[in-house]
């Protein structure tokens, strides 16, 4: 099943962990706050299947639980 992800930027503490385990998925803004590269953090673009293990690792390693994952596209607020 496809996985969708986005970073809750209110909770991201700019620690850098997600990019170090999944650099193809996560990028950083100038202030160090992370974003999901696919769909520019809008949660609408599925993460490529071959990157799902990296996504899971980043999710588990995020100290502030800022990485959100679900099986369907996120609704746009």
* Encoded tokens for 22: 């999944």
Write the interaction track for ligand SF4 spanning residues 44-63; mark x where CB under 6 A is met and - where it is not. Answer: ------------------xx
Query: Which residues are within 8 A (CB) of 33 and not within 5 positions of it... i.e. 6 or more apart?
Result: 7, 9, 12, 14
Burial of 38 (0-12, 13-18, 19+ CB in 10 A): buried
| CB closer to ligand SF4 out of 48 and 57 | 57
| CB closer to ligand SF4 out of 17 and 55 | 17
When binding is defined by CB under 6 A, the residue of 16, 29, 49, 60 that contacts ligand SF4 is 16
When binding is defined by CB under 6 A, the residue of 3, 45, 64, 73 that contacts ligand SF4 is 64
User: Residue 19 in contact with residue 62, Cβ under 8 Å?
Assistant: no
Give contact residues for ligand SF4 (rule: CB under 6 A).
Answer: 7, 12-18, 34, 62-64, 66-67
């Amino acid at each position: 099943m496809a996985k969708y992800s986005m970073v809750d930027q209110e909770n991201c503490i700019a620690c850098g962990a997600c990019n170090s385990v999944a650099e193809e998925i996560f990028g950083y803004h100038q202030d160090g706050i992370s974003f999901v590269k696919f769909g520019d953090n809008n949660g609408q673009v599925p993460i490529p299947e071959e990157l799902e293990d990296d996504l899971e690792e980043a999710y588990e390693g995020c100290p502030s639980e800022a990485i959100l994952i679900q099986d369907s596209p996120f609704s746009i607020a």
